Structure 1
Amino acid sequence: MKCGFLLIFLVGSCHGLSRKHWLKNLNFDNTENWDKNRVPCANDRIIIPNQSESVYVQTNTTLREMVLPVDGEVVLGQNIVINFASDAAVDLECNGEDLTYSRNKIKNWFDPANWKDEDVNVNVETERVPCTIDQVVFPSKSLFHVQLDQSLSIATMKIGTEAYTTKSLASFFDSPSGLKQFERINAASIELTQKTQCDDITGCVCGNDKSVIKDKICGLYECPNIACQSPLRAVGGCCNLCGGMLTMNYYESKFNMELFKQDMYDTYSSAEYIGTRDRKKRDTATNDGVDLYISKVTGDKIQMVLTDKVPGTDNGKNASDKARKIKDDLAKNNRYGVYNIYLQATSAATGKQNQKGDMSAGAVTGVVIAVIIILVIVIILSYMFVKRRPLSRTWFKKDEPLDASLEMAPGIAVVDLSFDNPMYDSPTKENFYMDPSRPFPNLDDDTSFSAGSPIDDDRSHSILSFSNPLPDDLPDRTLKKTAPAEEGGVKAFTNPLPEDLGDLGTPTVMDPIQSPDTKKGMEDETDA
């Protein structure tokens, strides 16, 4: 181990890999597996529901009663004994109540909530899941149920005390114990590269921030609510966060990721940082609850994410302040070979905010008020527009002339085809033809009408009249009342047309329905 540190500080070419521990198990003594978040004691009655996960009892225990499922499973470790006692005096500190086993769902490999880094608190969700450069550990004396639905590659893997290779791990997956603990979808596999260090002095990229794997990881993770304004989203992060974030470029010839991490963690991490190996530095470290995480991300940049555990509306304030201090210190001391340091920090808190891009309650309220105001303005303007109407009309009313004009193209002749309607503006009279029962008006011998003569305005025999369009200089052919013809004859009248119109030919009678008597009468009239 001392050799390793000497290599790190003197040579700078040995970069240890991160070690990720699986957190979830089926153990009887895991408080997360019980509905009351505590381990059962001697006076308790425990209930294991149907269709729940297996229960692994790895230590001797005493219970008052155990209710077993119809289709469940209780696995006892080697030489493990369960005692049942009816005397409450066995454990005076145990009040005794019903506890229900709550583990009823398999856990997915790619869920960030199922992993924890051995040294630091990783606040970038995709990098909590083991990367290709990470070592994976499944703790001893535990039973697991892991869903693996996609093939992957990691550095090393250890289950309990046994380290595996790619080949031996595949054999374990096919064993009874492996089939019980690892549910592989579509024969998913794990490749072990057996690397123990990063070969790049500037650091190795995790790779989980690429879109395909990132979408899978973020789809499994449930983000917590936060309480700051203008939250941040780290590269590779699934959730918004409160705190500070620094991104920077580096000179390849000068930057050393391992040295940079060690100095930043030892100088700026809180006393809770478990990776600090110097006890004196840990004792003098601040107690501001700030978590610091450094990694190399896609795009060949160094990312530093700071969060804190301050509750309530001040969450992220300590982390933001420390991020500003780190930026100032790095700007003054460029011995690490970093440049273009960009700072992002959250502002004062205003209330809880939802995650994955959702707006805060205050923002939602503001949007609702703005929408209401806009709707009111639109309604008022619409009402005023309809009431007043613009000068250039787009509507017209009945009996109202249109204010419109027609413009003809040059060179087009305009021909006036209009005429005066002789019925227009004439006084409306009662038309006697509308009532056939009324007698025809009596016309005396001297009763006549001619062009331009008005008709007496006596409504008893008034008719609609109009001016004769024939010329005024025609001979007087006044229509007069004639004596009735003999029976079978027709009424005669004088032709009002002039006699000098010339020979127009003999008219042809076109009435095929005339009776013989009528035809004979017409011939007699012609002879006469």
Structure 2
Amino acid sequence: MGAMGALGRLLLGLQLCALARAAYKVWVPNTDFDAADNWSQNRTPCAGAAVEFPADKMVSVLVRGGHSVSTMLLPLDGELVLASGAGFSAADPSSDPDPDCGPGAPARFLDPDRFSWHDPRLWRSGDAARGLFALDVERVPCRHDDVVFPPDSSFRVGLGPGARALRVGSVWALGQKFTRDEDLAVFLASRAGRLRFHGPGALSVRPEACAAPSGCVCGNAEVQPWVCAALLRPSGGHCPQAACHDALRPEGQCCALCGAIVSLTHGPAFDLAQYRARLLRDFLALPQYQALQVAVSKVPRPPQPREAPGAEADTEIQVVLAEPGPEAGGAGRLARALLADVAEHGEALGILSATFWESGAPVGDGSHRPGSRVGLASGLAAALFLVLLVLPAGALLLHRAGRLRWRRRDETPLGFHNPVFDVAGSVEQPPVPAPKTLAESTSQSCFVNPLFAATQTDTDA
């Protein structure tokens, strides 16, 4: 990569060290001349080839190597940035073509405006860990994130339709860190800024750290339609078919998935980072759960009819447990283990209550076990209780810490519905009705213990 590559790596290393205590997102695609996926034939131009750039586009292109071309059609506005040792030479059109390429169409540089800020596939998280994944809206920069554009690559990014200003903690670009709107505005209006950022959207920086131990909401709910549109564009705007019945769509996710969702109501003592570390250490490290993918974040929640004392009224912690393939059951077992953990340690963890949903049976297994829901209130109630219910068909023993709420199987909701966003092609789920309390359920003629009967219980998240 030469001196520029070494300098770029050094600058990027210094930037990431400075961001070590902050959440940050790194921009992945580039507009480099030597990147094969920037060309129409998915390879860099062969020796002696004709090279064409889109005439009506603006673009900055970093060139790292030496290239021999017969002709080159340049854009109306743009720049070629030559790294140390890079350059172009003219080839004789009558000379023999490269035998590995042969005669063919000119090498055309792809549309540099094809990269959108809202596309989750184009960002890499700096704090990713094995076993963890991010919800679709959280894969693009959140309002507290620092955004890094690697200094050893050229880039161009579209800022969206302009319906909402993009707000982040800071922006690193061309070796500079922008933490004030005034400085960022001057850069975006400059020629260097216009070559790299385009579109009617506005970019704003507010260096406000997330100081709440329970975490902060990402703040991308308003741009979720654009996030999902960009993510689903290759599939024509439609979500892939889920591999299970009654698939779940978590808050902030574009498409339904198989697995479970655990929702935690918490108080001021809850620490999101410590709870995420607890999941990785005490649960995901176990062999039976290592294949699962887990997302943990604070999300908005609708008003509840009955709030637990001390709970944050407008947010909750969402734990999404995604199954890796058509096999099912691991997410449900982990969700039940998390509810049992809340029952035992909820007060110490700052968790006031927990509820989870589970998707249904895999498609094609010959059965259709509906998804279900279990709610558990924890924290203040630490004693165990026994309830013996004598029914005409027999007796059932329920043994549970805290207060237990359940539904009969035939009344179980068939999944989880995202009230914020609805994508065409996504799996639609009916709203989840409020669970009945023990007193409200005494008129039922038959009960199933939702904690120990895996085939009839509610799903994990």
For normalisation by structure 2, the TM-score amounts to 0.58
Match of 1:358 among 415, 425, 429: 425
Q: 1:321-360 counterparts in 2 under 5 A?
A: 321-334=333-346, 335-350=348-363, 356=423, 358=425
Corresponding residue for residue 376 of structure 1: none
SS in 2 for 1:27: coil
In structure 2, runs of 5+ residues without a counterpart are 1-19, 233-237, 301-313, 365-421, 428-461
Which structure is higher in strand share? Answer: 2
Distance in 1, matches of 2:283 and 2:97, equals: 50
State the structure with bigger RCO (CA 8 A, min sep 6), 1 or 2.
Answer: 2
> CA offsets per residue over residues 140-167 of structure 1, 9 Å max, x none?
1222222332423221211142111322
SS at match of 1:169: helix
Change (3 A) 1:32 1:119: farther
Offset, 1:294: 1.0
Partner of 1:306: 321
Alignment of 1:201 with 2:206, yes or no, is no
CA contact (8 A) 2:242 2:257 kept: no
Of 118, 126, 133 in structure 1, the residue corresponding to residue 144 of structure 2 is 133
Distance 2:296 2:96 in 1: 54
| Contact 2:25/2:126, CA 8 A, preserved across alignment | yes
Q: Letter of the aligned partner of 2:87 in structure 1?
A: V
Distance 1:66 1:245 in 2: 57
Deviation at residue 249 of structure 1 after TM alignment: 0.9
When residues 102 and 324 of structure 1 are mapped into structure 2, their CA distance, relative to the original with a 3 A threshold, is farther
**1:102, CA displacement in angstroms?**
2.8
Which of 83, 88, 91 pairs up with 1:82?
Answer: 88
CA drift of 1:308 comes to 5.1
In the alignment, is the contact (CA less than 8 A) between 1:53 and 1:103 conserved in 2? Answer: no
1:250/1:231 CA distance change after superposition, 3 Å: same
User: SS in structure 1 opposite 2:273?
Assistant: helix
Partner in structure 1 of residue 126 of structure 2: 118
Gaps of 5+ in 1: 1-14, 270-280, 361-528
Q: How far apart are the structure 2 equivalents of 1:49 and 1:203? A: 44
Aligned positions of 1:103-502 closer than 5 A: 103-120=111-128, 122-148=133-159, 149=162, 150-166=164-180, 167-185=182-200, 189-195=202-208, 197-209=209-221, 212-222=222-232, 224-229=239-244, 230-252=246-268, 254-269=269-284, 288-298=290-300, 299-307=314-322, 309-310=324-325, 313-314=326-327, 319=331, 321-334=333-346, 335-350=348-363, 356=423, 358=425
Q: Displacement, 1:100? A: 4.3
1:178: Cα distance to partner? Answer: 0.7
Letter in 2 for 1:350: V
> Which whole-Å deviations, capped at 9, do the CAs of 1:465-501 have from their partners, x for residues lacking one?
xxxxxxxxxxxxxxxxxxxxxxxxxxxxxxxxxxxxx
Q: CA deviation at 1:85?
A: 7.2
Q: Which AA in structure 1 matches 2:353?
A: N
1:371-421: CA deviation from partner (whole Å, max 9, x where unpaired):
xxxxxxxxxxxxxxxxxxxxxxxxxxxxxxxxxxxxxxxxxxxxxxxxxxx
Amino acid at match of 1:171: V
* Aligned residue type for 1:217: V
Alignment deviations for residues 228-247 of structure 1 (CA, whole Å, 9 cap, x no partner): 22221111222222332211
Deviation at 1:20, TM superposition (A): 1.2
Q: Which residue of 2 aligns with 1:367?
A: none
Amino acid of the structure 2 residue aligned with 1:358: G
Q: CA deviation at 1:301?
A: 0.5
> For the Cα contact (< 8 Å) 2:264–2:353, is it kept in 1?
yes
CA shift at 1:189, angstroms? 4.0
Please tell me the residue identity of whatever aligns with 1:240.
A
- The amino acid of 1:213's aligned partner reads V
Shift of 1:37: 4.4
Equivalent in the alignment of 2:62: 57
Rg comparison, structure with higher value: 1
Q: Deviations over 1:316-348 (max 9, x none)?
A: 765555444444444444342324322223333
Q: Offset at 1:257?
A: 1.4
Matched to 2:354, the amino acid is I
Aligned residues: 320
Q: Give yes or no for contact 1:124–1:236 (8 Å, CA) kept in 2.
A: yes
Change in 2 beyond 3 A, CA 1:320/1:118 = farther
Asked if structure 2 preserves the Cα contact closer than 8 Å seen for 1:26 and 1:145, the reply is yes
Cα distance change on mapping 1:248 and 1:65 into 2, 3 Å = farther
The question of whether the paired residues in 2 share the 8 Å contact of 1:231 and 1:242 is answered with: yes
Q: Which moved more, 1:122-131 or 1:32-41?
A: 32-41
**TM (normalized to structure 1)?**
0.51
- Output the CA distance in 1 between the equivalents of 2:332 and 2:41: 36
Deviation at 1:19, TM superposition (A): 0.7
